[in-house]
A and B are shown apart, each in its own frame.
Chain A
Amino acid sequence: MVRYVIRRLLWAVVLFLAVTILTFLMFFVIPVDPAKLVAGKAATPAQVQHVAHELYLDRPLYVQYGHYLKELVWNHSLGYSYGNRQSVNSIISQAAPVTAALVFGGAILWLLVAIPIGIYSALRPRSKGDRVAMVGVLAGISAHPVWVGYMLSLIVGYKLNLLPIQGYCNLRGASEGQTCGGPYDWFMHMLLPWITFAILYAAFYVRMIRSSVMETLNEDYVRTARAKGAPERTVIRRHALRNAMLPVVTMLGMDIALALGGAVFVEIVFGLPGLGYWAIQSVFSFDLPIIAGTVIFASIMVILFNLIIDLLYAVIDPRIRLA
């Protein structure tokens, strides 16, 4: 177990380096001169020159990368925004909790919906309930989150005036310049984003859980459980569901990790200042340090969550040997 974790962590380091190199190369394939962006429109060539030197842009590529990596590893600094010289660290540390709130809340919501419906459908395939669920799944997968988001805003938020449709409120209380804050405001502002975010995934998960449970119910060991005289409830709960949940756990880890890098559509529609929102903003303004920062943060999340899921997997499936 310990050796397995160490090996996985070493691999994580390799992956991390690969991600930083790729992200860093992005600075050079994009046809803009960062020095000009930073120095501003009215800068003289000399000023641009000066800025380029400050940003290490006049040094060879490997020196620049070394500098970037050293800043990242030693000073835990992702650099500074080209636009307003704000530190990327502070941007990410403000945006990450927003995205995390969206993703984890959404995940809880979609699991709450998908697990019971998926199991129900699997136990009564081709029944009326199953057919209704499958039509719902198709609709959920087909509907784009942007469309769903705006429709919910329009109907629930604007027409019925039940929920706020824009913005984010701090969970801990209003910070300066904000009119809302505290758990209640936070919750109400997150409801529509959660629902929007959860619909697509809930649809995918209903389908996956349904097929996983149906497959497991055909397993020989489920037949064995019935042959032993176990009541149907025990057969399903003890023998089928635990095995059926294995692929769901894997998927959940992957999906959460990916979404933590920024749930772009939902964040944009509801004006949530999360990672996806910042990534899009900085793409439009060529603010490379912020783009690189969000990409690196997202990849760390993916690496971390894969590790957690692998460890969790070993707990539920004894066949996985962590050696």
Chain B
Amino acid sequence: MPLLDVKDLKTYFRTDDGIVHAVDGVSFSVEKGKTLAIVGESGCGKSVTCMTIMGLNAKRNTMTEGQAIFKDRDLLKIDPDELRKIRGNEISMIFQDPMTSLNPVYTIGAQLREAVQLHENVSKQVANSRSVEMLKAVAIPRAETRMDDYPHQFSGGMRQRVMIAMALVNNPDLLIADEPTTALDVTTQAQILKLMNQLQRDFGSAIILVTHDLGVVAETADDVLVMYAAKVVEKGGYEDIFYRPEHPYTWGLLNSLPRLAAEGSDLKPIPGTPPSLLQPPSGCRFHLRCTYAISPCIPEVPELLPVGGESAGDHAVACHLEPEFRRRESHDLLHEVMAEQQT
């Protein structure tokens, strides 16, 4: 049984311009101790999906449907106070911008201790020693003395380590990381990813990793969910997505990765921009930007169906193209990439 099972999740926001369909029927599951990566362009609903699971959207203008079953409880339906007790304890979350995610007027020690004491009735001393231990686990030098420092006395990478420490201090079953490395420079990114991988081995938490960076996915993910315009277009194991991708959008994402080896070859971005979620396009939402689009793509919404053949299992794709054709294209794409890398 999966740790978290999300079924047909829908999140709509009422705005002055109309209803924004930010997440429109998303299903996925996260296995215990595994990492699921959610990828897609900015504004495709990755973050909103996570915020909805955590119950962190503003209540005033949000409408939510579907199920998110976590340990036999539906997170979307349980009492807010019940959900509050799960947040930061059984499921915790880290965010994109470590520079602004910590409260500037409290020491990080105070903020870490708060995370412990919100969920457990322990003394300040106990909370303190657990916080120091956690800071050591995320490799912050001189952890004891740094407890008394304020967030502005830490660099971006160090702050993200503090955020990770704060998220893991109660040993959660699931860590949701919303673009945890996007705001950091490349070397710091690599350190943070390595740290997350290592902590996952040590603590056994499952991770939902939201990112738009396929490089990050390649380094961490067990399973991958590709989202486009509030819907899932493809999902599968890490190998399915990287070696046997079947959706033209996934091809586009892989193709637009800058490759160091291929000198002189230009970046190949996906043409066009993501559609508005106020009035999403009919049929397959990607058809406006898809070079392979055929006539059924415009009126008919493709279903997310399991892929047959050699890559059975959880690999599924939502596309009207002939499976035979998709497999051939995917194969060619992979060859192209390999060839480029060899030259």
Whether A242 pairs with B105 at a CB distance below 8 angstroms is yes
**B104 in the interface, Cβ–Cβ < 8 Å?**
yes
Whether A317 pairs with B118 at a CB distance below 8 angstroms is no
Q: Which of B207-254 contact A (CB under 8 A)?
A: none
With A219-B100, A319-B150, A319-B152 already in contact, the answer to whether A228 and B105 are too (CB < 8 A) is no
**A54 in the interface, Cβ–Cβ < 8 Å?**
no
Q: How far, in angstroms, from A223 to B55 measured CA to CA in the complex?
A: 11
Q: How far, in angstroms, from A318 to B149 measured CA to CA in the complex?
A: 10
With A229-B86, A229-B87 already in contact, the answer to whether A221 and B114 are too (CB < 8 A) is no
Which of B17-25, B88-96, B294-302, B317-325 lies on the face that meets chain A?
B88-96
Chain B neighbourhood of A319, CB < 8 A? 104, 150, 152
Chain A neighbourhood of B87, CB < 8 A? 226-229
Cross-interface CB contact of B166 among A223, A228, A317, A318, cutoff 8 Å: A228
Chain A neighbourhood of B291, CB < 8 A? none
Q: Type the 1/0 row for A211-246, where 1 means its CB is closer than 8 Å to any CB of B.
A: 000000001110111111111001000110011000
Q: Which of B161-193 contact A (CB under 8 A)?
A: 163, 166
Q: Across the two chains, which residue of chain A brings its CB closest to B115?
A: A228
Whether B101 pairs with A221 at a CB distance below 8 angstroms is yes
Whether B56 pairs with A229 at a CB distance below 8 angstroms is no
Q: How far, in angstroms, from A220 to B95 measured CA to CA in the complex?
A: 8
Whether B118 pairs with A224 at a CB distance below 8 angstroms is no
Which among A219, A228, A230 has the greatest number of chain B C-beta atoms within 10 A? Answer: A228
With A229-B87, A318-B152 already in contact, the answer to whether A220 and B104 are too (CB < 8 A) is no
Q: Across the two chains, which residue of chain B brings its CB closest to A224?
A: B101
**A316 in the interface, Cβ–Cβ < 8 Å?**
yes
Q: Across the two chains, which residue of chain A brings its CB closest to B84?
A: A229
Q: Type the 1/0 row for B35-68, where 1 means its CB is closer than 8 Å to any CB of A.
A: 0000000000000000000101000000000000
**B288 in the interface, Cβ–Cβ < 8 Å?**
no
Q: Type the 1/0 row for A297-323, where 1 means its CB is closer than 8 Å to any CB of B.
A: 000000000000000000011110000
**B97 in the interface, Cβ–Cβ < 8 Å?**
yes
CB distance from B25 to the nearest CB of A (A): 25
Q: Type the 1/0 row for A41-61, where 1 means its CB is closer than 8 Å to any CB of B.
A: 000000000000000000000
Q: Type the 1/0 row for A112-148, where 1 means its CB is closer than 8 Å to any CB of B.
A: 0000000000000000000000000000000000000
Whether B150 pairs with A318 at a CB distance below 8 angstroms is yes
Whether A224 pairs with B95 at a CB distance below 8 angstroms is yes
Cross-interface CB contact of A243 among B86, B97, B104, B119, cutoff 8 Å: B104
Which among A224, A226, A227, A242 has the greatest number of chain B C-beta atoms within 10 A? Answer: A227
Whether A220 pairs with B97 at a CB distance below 8 angstroms is yes
Q: Across the two chains, which residue of chain B brings its CB closest to A219?
A: B100
Q: How far, in angstroms, from A231 to B118 measured CA to CA in the complex?
A: 9
Chain B neighbourhood of A230, CB < 8 A? 84, 88, 114, 118
Chain A neighbourhood of B115, CB < 8 A? 228-229
Size of chain B's interface in residues, with CB distance under 8 A?
28
Whether A317 pairs with B105 at a CB distance below 8 angstroms is yes
With A230-B114, A318-B152 already in contact, the answer to whether A220 and B100 are too (CB < 8 A) is yes
Whether A221 pairs with B92 at a CB distance below 8 angstroms is no
Whether B103 pairs with A239 at a CB distance below 8 angstroms is yes
CB distance from A118 to the nearest CB of B (A): 19
With A220-B95, A223-B56, A319-B152 already in contact, the answer to whether A228 and B103 are too (CB < 8 A) is no
Chain B neighbourhood of A238, CB < 8 A? 114
Q: How far, in angstroms, from A220 to B47 measured CA to CA in the complex?
A: 14
With A220-B95, A223-B56 already in contact, the answer to whether A229 and B118 are too (CB < 8 A) is yes
Q: Type the 1/0 row for A28-70, where 1 means its CB is closer than 8 Å to any CB of B.
A: 0000000000000000000000000000000000000000000
Chain B neighbourhood of A221, CB < 8 A? 100-104
**B201 in the interface, Cβ–Cβ < 8 Å?**
no
**B328 in the interface, Cβ–Cβ < 8 Å?**
no
**B194 in the interface, Cβ–Cβ < 8 Å?**
no
Q: How far, in angstroms, from A319 to B150 measured CA to CA in the complex?
A: 8
Q: How far, in angstroms, from A226 to B105 measured CA to CA in the complex?
A: 17
Q: How far, in angstroms, from A226 to B86 measured CA to CA in the complex?
A: 11
Cross-interface CB contact of A220 among B85, B92, B101, B107, cutoff 8 Å: B101
Using A227-B88, A230-B118, A318-B150 as known contacts, list a sample of 4 further A-B pairs with CB atoms less than 8 Å apart, ordered by residue number in A.
A227-B87, A229-B84, A234-B118, A318-B105
Give the A-binding residues of B (Cβ under 8 A). 54, 56, 81, 84-89, 92-93, 95, 97, 100-105, 107, 114-115, 118-119, 150, 152, 163, 166
A–B pairs, 23, beta carbons within 8 Å: A219-B100, A220-B100, A221-B103, A221-B104, A223-B101, A224-B95, A224-B101, A224-B102, A226-B56, A227-B87, A227-B92, A228-B87, A228-B166, A229-B84, A229-B118, A230-B84, A230-B118, A238-B114, A243-B103, A317-B105, A318-B107, A318-B150, A319-B152
Give the B-binding residues of A (Cβ under 8 A). 219-221, 223-231, 234, 238-239, 242-243, 316-319
